[in-house]
Amino acid sequence: MIYGDELEMVSISTSSPLVNLKIKEGERDVFVKIVPCLRCFGLPPGARLPPKWPNHPYAKGKSKTYMKSILAEVSGGASMWVFEGRQYVPPQGGLKPPPAELLPQLWSISMDILEGRLLKGTEPDPTQRTEVPPCRHLIYQLLCAMIEKQDNGLKNLTSRHLRTLLLWECNRHGDWSCDEAGVRFLGILQRLKENLKLNTLQDFFYTDLNTLSDLSVPVRRTLHYRVKEITAYIAREPESMIHFMPY
């Protein structure tokens, strides 16, 4: 434990909304970044929720009931989103980014809490489990592993892209049993292929936002080619999916 009177020097710099501490302890410098994070109630301004979950013509009545339960939690004061400080990340695949110290610090809205609540889906178990159902969790982990493998050429995709794709697919399909994992996984790849072709992937809660806008046109074209190639290969030979995993 290091106490204040044991520190030789502490320098503070602010780049709103973040606070950076440089602590000199003997011959060693310790850098600490303090990031404000505010848990907020209700929904952030402008955010939308689907009328049903899942939202498709063959959805049963319980899909509306589930969304009513979500809205009841929101109106009842449940904390569903976070207002947090974050460093701006410049578009990928473009010009050389400026030094990190020159990048602006911004406030951003994080919907992770609400996303997790929606991805939980309707559960037949009356104990109301809180974890994401196995099929959705498995597919998300496989997608994350796929973009991590350097040979796949998908490194410019982020977890935000994957979670957005998963939310749209979950809102489209009701059956997320483990027996359907292969079909759902391939469906997400096909959706990603079409989104890259059209150069747009709408944010699930703010549909006016394009989550692909941070990628340059050459990067999106390269990603589209690679996803198209991988999707066709897996659709033709499902067992070949193991070749696109890092392990």
Q: Per-residue pLDDT tens for 170-228?
A: 888 878 888 888 899 999 999 999 999 999 999 999 999 999 988 888 999 999 999 99
Cβ-defined contacts of 212-220 (< 8 Å, 24+): 212/161, 213/91, 214/89, 214/90, 214/91, 214/92, 215/91, 215/92, 215/93, 215/156, 216/91, 216/92, 216/93, 216/94, 218/93, 219/92, 219/93, 219/156, 220/196
pLDDT of 66 strictly over 70: yes
H/E stretch holding 236: helix 217-236
Which pLDDT score, from 0 to 100, does residue 71 have? 82
| Residue 115, both tokens | 């996303």
Residue with the bigger pLDDT between 169 and 31: it is 169
DSSP 28: E
Question: Residue 37 CA to chain centroid, in angstroms?
Answer: 17
Give the amino acid at 220: R
Q: Model confidence over 76-89: pLDDT tens digits? A: 778 888 888 776 66
